[in-house]
Amino acid sequence: MGRFLALASRFVMAPIGLGFVLLTTPATVWAQVSAPTSEPALKVDISQLTAEERADLLSRLSDEQVRDLMLAYMSGQAEPKSQETMILNEVHEEISLFRERFGKRLTHVGELSTVPRFVYAKLSEGKGPYHPLVVFGIFIGITLVAYAVERGYRQGARRIYEGLALPEDAELLRRLGRLLAKLSLDLIGVAIFAAAILGVFLLLYHGHEATRLTVMTLLTALLIVRVASTVSQFFFAPSSGDLRIAPFDDESATRIHRWIVAATAVTAFGLLACGLMLRFGLAPVLHELLLDMVGAVLVITLIAGTLRVRKAVIAVLLSQIEGHGHAHRLLGSLASSWHVAFIGYILFLFFLSTYKDVIGEQSATYPGLLSLLIVISIPAADFFLRSLLDHVMPATQEEGLRKSVSAAPVFKRAARILLLILALFLIGRVWGVNFFALGQESLGEEIMRALVDIALTLLVAYVVWGAIKAALARYLPSEGDEAEHGVDEGGGAGATRLETIMP
**Model pLDDT, residue 16:** 44
221 pLDDT higher than 80? yes
Instruction: Report how far residue 193's alpha carbon sits from residue 227's, in angstroms, rounded to the nearest whole number.
Output: 11
User: pLDDT digits over 308-322, tens only?
Assistant: 999 988 888 888 777
**Model pLDDT, residue 75:** 62
pLDDT tier at 102, thresholds 50, 70, 90 = confident
pLDDT tier at 246, thresholds 50, 70, 90 = confident
* 475, amino acid identity: Y
**Model pLDDT, residue 444:** 54
Q: In the chain, count H helices and then E strands.
A: 20, 2
Of residues 7 and 201, which shows the higher confidence score?
201
228 pLDDT higher than 90? yes
111 in Cβ contact with 166 (< 8 Å): no
Who's near 232: CB < 8 A, 6+ residues apart?
256, 257, 260, 261
User: pLDDT digits over 410-423, tens only?
Assistant: 777 777 778 888 88
Secondary structure (3-state) at 396: strand
Phi, psi of 398, rounded to the nearest 5 degrees = -125, 110
pTM recorded for the entire structure: 0.68
User: Burial letters for 468-479: b for 16+ Cβ neighbours within 10 Å, e otherwise?
Assistant: eebeebeebbee
- DSSP class of residue 426 equals H
pLDDT tier at 117, thresholds 50, 70, 90 = very high
Residue of 191, 184, 193, 192 lying closest to 164 (CA atoms): 184
Q: Which residues partner with 396 through β-bridges?
A: 403
Instruction: Report how far residue 419's alpha carbon sits from residue 377's, in angstroms, rounded to the nearest whole number.
Output: 10
Of residues 445 and 368, which shows the higher confidence score?
368
- Mean pLDDT score, 193-202: 90
Q: Can you give the length of the chain in residues? A: 503
pLDDT tier at 24, thresholds 50, 70, 90 = very low
